[in-house]
Amino acid sequence: IQGATSHHLGQNFSKMFDIIFEDPVTQEKQFVYQNSWGLTTRSIGVLVMVHGDNKGLVLPPKVASVQAIIMAVGITAKITDEEKANLFAACKTLEGELNEGGIRTKTDLRDNVTPA
């Protein structure tokens, strides 16, 4: 894996695209010298390759936008609406506590899917 690159492009592209500046001492117009660096997208690519597979992407907590997901489990056909509402409220309370503690948390209260 090529982690990063650095290229001195010289004046090739500035001459091609007429990118100039005025020298502050001589007031003469000159073509700029350019460099190019590549790290960001390659780093993201390595991150995806290391932490992803056919089941998806599981990022390390420090870089994940969401660090924890709270899901209500144990919901059966026998659960009452009141019990379900209490369970959902407890999930939202826990989400708030975790977020206040610096853990980026979301709650998934969908009732039409089953955890895999």
The 10s digit of each residue's pLDDT in 64-92 is 999 999 999 888 889 999 999 999 999 99
Model pLDDT, residue 40: 83
Task: For Cα atoms 15, 17, 23, give the angle at the middle one, nearest 5 degrees.
Answer: 55
Q: Say what the pLDDT of residue 115 is.
A: 64
CA distances from 28 to 15, 19, 21, 23 (A): 15, 14, 8, 5
Model confidence at 1, in pLDDT bands (50, 70, 90)? confident
pLDDT digits over 10-55, tens only? 999 999 999 999 999 999 999 999 999 888 888 888 899 999 999 9
Please, which residues have CB within 8 angstroms of residue 22's CB and are 6 or more apart in sequence?
A: 28, 29, 30
- pLDDT number for residue 28: 96
Q: What's the pTM value of the predicted model, to 2 decimals?
A: 0.57
Q: What is the dihedral of CA 7, 10, 15, 20, to 10 degrees?
A: 110
pLDDT of residue 15: 97
Over its C-alpha atoms, the chain yields an Rg (Å, rounded) of 27
Give residue 116's pLDDT.
62
Position 101 scores a pLDDT of 97
Burial pattern 80-102, b for ≥16 Cβ within 10 A else e, equals eeeeeeebeeebeeebeebeeee
Q: Residue 104 pLDDT > 90, yes or no? A: yes
